[in-house]
Amino acid sequence: MNEQEQIWVQQARRGDRSAFSRLVEAYQRPVFNLTYRMLGSVEEAEDAAQEAFLRAYSRLGQYDPEMKFSTWLFSIANHYCIDRLRKRRTTQISIDDNPVLQNLEGDDPRPERHALQQEARIEVQNMLDRLAPEYRTPLVLRYWEDLSYEEIAESMNVTVATVKSRLFRARQQLAAIYKEQESVTPPPLPRTAPPARQVEHSRLQPMMLRLAMAAL
């Protein structure tokens, strides 16, 4: 956290709402990224991000200045997402119910490349949805938010050794899910259609290999 953000936190703790609004502007994107990767739904992620900020504001008196504000905020968002996941009847979001995919549909034509990028992101998200929250959280914080092992441990209230162990298992599980999906033969495509599966594979493979093979 830079010096300006430290000032905003201090001002917000003294009741300055405009200072807290600046903190929201600074962290709204990374918090949303976390909640979306955890929940897999744009609508739920937006609600969860908003709730995380509301909870952070109401608990500013409990914030320890020795802790990075972003880490504390991620911790609040993560715990809220886990609570929502526990309340679900199922932890998986189907592709048909995914708002990201629904946004691809409509009357206006979409560029093919953009659609394939969206499909690749959706496929990655669907694979993340198959991981248990305790494995999904460190994976998202490490590879999407670029947090250190120490920051992840602090955010999840676990040890660094636990973070490393869960990351290792999460990468193993993702690699297994990826291989399972790749083993399924796609249906024949019309001759006029582009080789979508081949393009998706080329986009996903580097990411999956990075997650599976990254050294602790």
- Would you give the DSSP letter of residue 196? H
The CATH number of 1-92, from 2.40.30.10, 1.10.10.60, 1.10.260.40, 1.10.1740.10, is 1.10.1740.10
Q: Which two tokens stand for residue 44?
A: 């739920």
Identical fold, 1-92 and 98-216: no
Burial class (CB in 10 A: 0-12, 13-18, 19+), 73: buried
Domain ranges of the chain: 1-92, 98-216
Q: Note whether 35 and 77 are within 8 A (CB).
A: yes
Q: Which CATH architecture has domain 98-216?
A: Orthogonal Bundle (1.10)
List per-residue pLDDT tens for the chain, 216 residues long: 578 888 999 999 999 999 999 999 999 999 999 999 999 889 999 999 999 999 999 999 999 888 899 999 999 999 999 988 888 644 343 434 433 333 333 444 444 555 555 666 777 788 888 898 899 999 989 988 889 999 999 999 999 999 999 999 999 998 888 888 776 645 555 544 444 444 344 444 444 444 444 433
Q: What is the value of pTM for the model shown?
A: 0.64
Q: What is the largest CA-CA distance in the chain?
A: 65
**Residues contacting residue 68 through CB under 8 Å, at least 6 positions apart:** 1, 151, 154
